[in-house]
Structure 1
Amino acid sequence: MKKILIIFFVLIGAYLLITNLYRIPGLPFGGNFEDSVQVTNKIDEIEIDITSISTTVIPENRDDVKAELKGKGKVHVSKSGDTIEVTYERGFLNFGWFPFFNKSNLTVYIPEDYDHDLALKVGSGHLEFDGAPMELNELSADVHSGNMRLENLSAKNFTHNVASGNSRIEKLTTKNGEIDVSSGNVTVDNYTGKLEAEVHSGRLKATIANLTDSIDASVKSGLLDIDLPDDADFTLKGKANSGYISNDFSLDDSTRDKGNIEGKHGAGTHDVNIEVNSGKASIR
């Protein structure tokens, strides 16, 4: 039994040595990873991809992307083509088997006048945007078994995917927005722009600050709550199959047939199309 244990630990030690050789300074195949990269006019995207760590993204008056790590692990800031990538590596020796012991914090600084594409990805971690205003071209935010909080952003196009995670978005303006929720929870406050949403076994609560375009949403075994301004001008078309749609607005030319509902509020300018299958949607 002792020989087996010795062999086991020798193999583990060899594996750790081989997989961490690039960390050892002075070796010809070792890696030197910078913690900052200059943002030039050739950079079209900044991508922040983090797992199992609490991260804060701070826009400020600077011309580079810089990452500061407090705690264990390794942060990488690198340039690949027209993209600057920020990634975090926990490190097997530290807490690879026990991620809940990770008390490290990562802060990523980006230029406040950056106006191209920003991609945020979280897996089993937490990412928070500090709330300084930014105007972007494309904003994508993906959450997988983690948490995200965004605030005070505008983008021509916005995509948000949440799977078994949670997110909160406050004060977002976009021309085209897409939100996909799978077994997660998303809360959106003070939203302006076109919205396309899909909810699968999760929940989406969206408060619309100003209805300027259409809303198209489908619910499958989930919950959808859309809060519209009292003076919103919209035409509602709701279809429910094995589900239910509730509406708190007074509607002109209103019809309700089984689970379906149609009608116009105000001038009826913008389309609000809701389809529910084995779920529930509320318009209020």
Structure 2
Amino acid sequence: IGAYLLITNLYRIPGLPFGNSGDSVKVTDKIDEIEINISSISTTVIPENRDDVEVELKGKGKAHVSKSGDTIEVRYERGFFNLGWFPFFNQSKLTVYIPEDYDQDLSLIVGSGHLELDGTSMKLNELSADVHSGNMRLQNLSAETFTHNVASGNSRIDKLTTKSGEIEVHSGNVTVDEYTGKLEAEVNSGRLKATIADLTDSIDASVSSGLLDIDLPDNADFTLKGESNSGYISNSFSLDDSTKGKKKMEGKHGAGTHEVNIEVNSGKASIR
């Protein structure tokens, strides 16, 4: 027990190379990543005109901001005796303030909690978002690359623009509205519903015992290539040069500029 307490509190000891911790940490040009890792608490991330990362906690537990190398980390601790076995009784709320002009990497990790971020005016290099038995809501974000992992959780994303995005769903539910950019998706025993605001690149998706719903613009120019094995693919678009069989669906809509590749195994995919 003593060794555990020592290891988990090293970042609080000044002078050690594990970084400095406190309620706020200044963001310098040497910071490449901000990581927000929370569990069993409702969290709101607010970008605003400031030059540091600061936390504000209302309720029980402890919130920490620490710097380790080129990364600023935000953590929340409920405490050993703070209803650890019944997280749904925790009414604490955490607010994390970050600079609105921050343009490097942002990592969001949620376990058995809830996180919201409205990133209006933010333009990130890399945005990664992981949900494990929790909930996440993201709005108005722009990033060069986007990765999203959901396992037994739920997420909703409104207005996301990226050059390249990857979404993996495992026994969870993901809803994406007004998405723009390249998309690679993998759905396993879960559900992904994606509405594409502007088809500017390819879509590659695979489904295994899950549900996939992709809503494309009426004027989208794409070439559809679908394969199903013990699964089902439906398409609402009229296709030129089309080929349709029991396990295969191909065709072109409009100029056929961008590839839409769908593979289904023991699941269902809908293109509309």
When normalised by structure 1's length, the TM-score is 0.89
Deviation at 1:166, TM superposition (A): 0.2
Match of 1:65 in 2: 53
Deviation at 1:97, TM superposition (A): 2.3
The range that moved more, 37-46 or 127-136, is 127-136
2:95 equivalent to 1:86: no
Tell whether the 8 Å contact from 1:192 to 1:208 is kept in structure 2 after alignment.
yes
Deviation at 1:47, TM superposition (A): 0.2
Query: Using the alignment, how far apart are the partners of 1:134 and 1:216 within structure 2?
Result: 27
Give the letter aligned to residue 206 of structure 1: A
- After TM superposition, the structure 1 = structure 2 runs for residues 38-187 of structure 1, keeping only pairs within 5 Å, are 38-187=26-175
Structure ranking higher in helix proportion: 1
Structure 1's consecutive aligned runs of 4 or more residues displaced over 3 angstroms after TM superposition are 18-23
Query: Using the alignment, how far apart are the partners of 2:5 and 2:257 within structure 1?
Result: 60
Give the letter aligned to residue 130 of structure 1: D
- 1:20-66 C-alpha deviation (Å, 9 max, x unpaired): 9969x9xxx9x984110000000000000000000000000000000
Structure 1: which 5+ runs fail to align?
A: 1-14
Match of 2:250 in 1: 262
Match of 2:221 in 1: 233
**Percent of residue pairs bearing the same amino acid type:** 80
2:267 equivalent to 1:279: yes
Query: Using the alignment, how far apart are the partners of 1:36 and 1:176 within structure 2?
Result: 32
Coordinate RMSD, CA, aligned: 2.2
Query: Structure 1 residues 118, 22: closer, same or farther in 2, change over 3 A?
Result: closer
Query: Structure 1 residues 197, 32: closer, same or farther in 2, change over 3 A?
Result: closer
Query: Using the alignment, how far apart are the partners of 1:22 and 1:85 within structure 2?
Result: 14
Matched residue SS, 1:93:
coil
When normalised by structure 2's length, the TM-score is 0.93
Give the letter aligned to residue 33 of structure 2: E
Query: Using the alignment, how far apart are the partners of 2:120 and 2:216 within structure 1?
Result: 26
Query: Using the alignment, how far apart are the partners of 1:55 and 1:243 within structure 2?
Result: 39
Of structures 1 and 2, the larger Rg is shown by 1
Deviation at 1:133, TM superposition (A): 2.9
Deviation at 1:99, TM superposition (A): 1.4
Query: Using the alignment, how far apart are the partners of 1:231 and 1:114 within structure 2?
Result: 35
Tell whether the 8 Å contact from 1:118 to 1:138 is kept in structure 2 after alignment.
yes
Matched residue SS, 2:82:
helix
2:231 equivalent to 1:248: no
Query: Using the alignment, how far apart are the partners of 2:235 and 2:20 within structure 1?
Result: 58
Query: Using the alignment, how far apart are the partners of 1:250 and 1:209 within structure 2?
Result: 19
Tell whether the 8 Å contact from 1:58 to 1:132 is kept in structure 2 after alignment.
no
2:180 equivalent to 1:192: yes
- 1:53-90 C-alpha deviation (Å, 9 max, x unpaired): 00000000000000000000011100000000000001
Query: Structure 1 residues 22, 192: closer, same or farther in 2, change over 3 A?
Result: closer
Tell whether the 8 Å contact from 2:20 to 2:68 is kept in structure 1 after alignment.
no
Structure 2: which 5+ runs fail to align?
A: none
Tell whether the 8 Å contact from 2:226 to 2:263 is kept in structure 1 after alignment.
yes
